[in-house]
Amino acid sequence: MNQTIKDILSRRSIRRFKPEPLPRDLLAEIITAGEFAPTALNTQSLHFSVILNQDIIADISAVNKKIIGGDDGNPLKKLAQMDNFCNFYHAPAVIIISSDDIPYGVADAANAAENICIAAQSLGIGSCYIASFLPAFASPEAPRLKDRIMLPENKIVRFAVALGYIDGETPSAPPRRENNITVID
């Protein structure tokens, strides 16, 4: 098995990070991996907001805590009500991925998010792909939050990836479902 496939298979969602900042050169490589993800019709409408400012990360998290902490239909309601809730697991770096309002904008952003996670894994950096913060960017606070992350006009926030060095053990992979492959000769 080559190293790329090993990195894909060994990547896990990490939810405990050391506070130490990531080296800027490694962060730049990770973002480049995101930029080089495929986009439908090569639209390349993606924007990457690289947030290293803990106050902004905490702000987004606090806005979302209020929303999902009061939402009976949200599976994360209980988690969001906890005192130390951080939607980004106190990661030292969070990349928010946005795209234009185009038919494959979500897929384009998803490709970039996964490229970022795999690139991080290959560099010994932990990652967590995150969508649960999105209600904050659909709330009345959204304009203020978009300003804080300097989001270019007309970009729609799609996903985030929390990044940092792993604190503790890497969880083991959830087992794969069976009977999900059909080979047609």
Residue closer to ligand FMN by CB (options 128, 149) is 128
Query: In this chain, which of 85, 129, 148, 166 binds ligand FMN, going by CB under 6 A?
Result: 129
170 binds ligand FMN (CB under 6 A): no
CB of 10 to ligand FMN, least distance (A): 10
Neighbours of 66 (CB within 10 A): 14
CB of 64 to ligand FMN, least distance (A): 10
Are 97 and 166 within 8 A, CB to CB? Answer: no
132 binds ligand FMN (CB under 6 A): yes
Query: In this chain, which of 97, 128, 136, 163 binds ligand FMN, going by CB under 6 A?
Result: 128
54 binds ligand FMN (CB under 6 A): no
Residue with tokens 């929390």: 162
CB of 12 to ligand FMN, least distance (A): 4
41 binds ligand FMN (CB under 6 A): no
CB of 108 to ligand FMN, least distance (A): 13
Cβ neighbours of residue 16 closer than 8 Å, sequence gap 6 or more: 89, 166, 167, 168
Residue with tokens 């606090």: 62
Q: Which single residue brings its beta carbon nearest to ligand FMN?
A: 132
Q: Give the residue among 95, 96, 98 at the shortest CA–CA distance from 120.
A: 95
What is the Cα 38 distance to its own chain's centre?
17
Structure tokens at 111: 């490709």
What Cα–Cα distance (Å) separates residue 108 from each residue in 36, 135, 165, 166? 11, 20, 26, 27
Query: In this chain, which of 73, 75, 124, 174 binds ligand FMN, going by CB under 6 A?
Result: 174
Strands (E), 9-86: 47-51
Q: Which stretches of the chain bind ligand FMN, using CB under 6 A?
A: 12-13, 15, 128-132, 173-174
